[in-house]
Structure 1
């Protein structure tokens, strides 16, 4: 009997030692791993795990301290976040250009990435704060049309409104929600400390601008979504629509374009051409020039193609 008792106590001691060693290993991992594993009091709740990458898109430029302040807020949530700049040179208040930039960049990031986009002419007003779940990524920003082109790319995306109970306790300014609202929310999502969608309410009709096109018997009609920094005019018309119908004539403003090229180097400087852009949309360009200025075209201008 004494031997049996001793044997049981010896096994218990070994079990205790094993648990102690495992605990030490886990503590070591928790001090070195990503922000998702650093949570000792706030376990990760996000339904689709975040990966710790947080990107920034703004119209703030890098001349002032606005972007730096936002990054400081993010790192205050966790120094383990990976911060990436998509860009800060969006023309001031240009929501369409920002929407195009998001559509260009977001699909290239890995699943679980969180993006914060702040082009916010309505800062401080009653406009909503949204979180979009777009193909296993998250986009945080104002409800003002920024996600219009992303919703075209991912029509099954879910969009949620951030209610007041999930806003930071302290909002220091009515004019800098990038620092006080959007970045704190995005950083929590990036670290898995805000449950999406569990903690948020569905936003059934987010604000979007018109990204559609119409095809009739002899015409295709769309709009200019935006002009990029080179002045290339990005339209809402998929280039494959032209290919399937046979290339013809593009009418935009007072200009008629009949020349289609594969790339910019296939025409002489100054030529006005149409081509397939990097997103598969019809683009109108001036070789080594600025089509938006040359053709006096603005966002939303009608584009018609005669087949």
Structure 2
């Protein structure tokens, strides 16, 4: 059985971009299966692309070919690449920061720059604005179908040259039981917000389910939420509308409201401007 192509973009589905990518893959090999992660990543948000892929990648079998296209530098001299991950999966993407979470949390064994002279969809040479179709989908399909090996992608370059965000963006600062973090994601459809705090690090800091945690949230240094919050297994341990800390399905710490949207109630967004301080209550 051939590996699936699993992909994400910031293209949306209101026009034909994604369908044209599927078409290119099917021309390479009609048997290839293309599975969507999401096409609703915020436009140009490379950090969100990095975060989204790490939520999904560990749950797919060895050999899966991932494609991530959030590419504000399309057509420039930024590298188009394929990375071979430590767990045996691959990702086809612009090398623009999208590989950050995978680099730190999964590990990248090797990375190769796509050779456009052999791995570009024929007839698109005059187009510079749709590498998602012309380079990434086409190369992913050739790799997944076995028409090229990983070595056939193009020349290797040092893994250390991969473009990455600063580590503090994806990893909270832990000092004993005091934790400083940022809001790493607000994409939970139920409106919970995820911090860049791994559940395992929260446990190492001494927190256990049933504890009360003092939570301070700030936007650009101004406090908008300060409260003692229960850390528990799931929403049903607090009353409707009450806040709760819990381990997300992706093993990060999230803050939500039981049957409510924390994100919408407090107008929270992700990124360095939205900080969190957690300590013992």
Does the CA contact (< 8 Å) of 2:110 and 2:156 recur in 1?
Answer: no
* 2:12 pairs with 1:61: yes
1:171 aligned to which of 117, 125, 132: 125
Aligned length: 258
> C-alpha distance in 2, partners of 1:277/1:52?
28
Between 236-245 and 276-285, the greater mean CA deviation after superposition = 236-245
> C-alpha distance in 2, partners of 1:306/1:205?
37
Q: Which runs of 4+ in 1 moved over 6 A?
A: none
Compute the TM-score of the two structures, normalised by the length of structure 2: 0.82
1:249 aligned to which of 214, 223, 227: 214
CA shift, 1:197, in A, is 4.1
* SS of residue in 2 equivalent to 1:204: helix
Q: CA RMSD in A?
A: 2.3
Q: 1:186 matched to which residue of 2?
A: 140
> C-alpha distance in 2, partners of 1:302/1:232?
15
* 2:225 pairs with 1:225: no
Does the CA contact (< 8 Å) of 2:80 and 2:95 recur in 1?
Answer: yes
Unaligned segments of structure 1, at least 5 residues: 1-33, 35-50
2:241 aligned to which of 267, 270, 280: 270
* 2:162 pairs with 1:206: yes
Does the CA contact (< 8 Å) of 1:94 and 1:119 recur in 2?
Answer: yes
CA shift, 1:280, in A, is 1.6
| Superposed CA offset, 1:239-274 (max 9, x none) | 233334234322221222422231123223322221
Q: 2:65 matched to which residue of 1?
A: 114
Q: 1:304 matched to which residue of 2?
A: 277
Does the CA contact (< 8 Å) of 1:222 and 1:236 recur in 2?
Answer: yes
Compute the TM-score of the two structures, normalised by the length of structure 1: 0.76
> C-alpha distance in 2, partners of 1:133/1:69?
25
Unaligned segments of structure 2, at least 5 residues: none
- Bigger proportion of residues as helix: 1
CA shift, 1:167, in A, is 4.3
Q: 1:80 matched to which residue of 2?
A: 31
Does the CA contact (< 8 Å) of 2:116 and 2:135 recur in 1?
Answer: no
CA shift, 1:187, in A, is 0.9
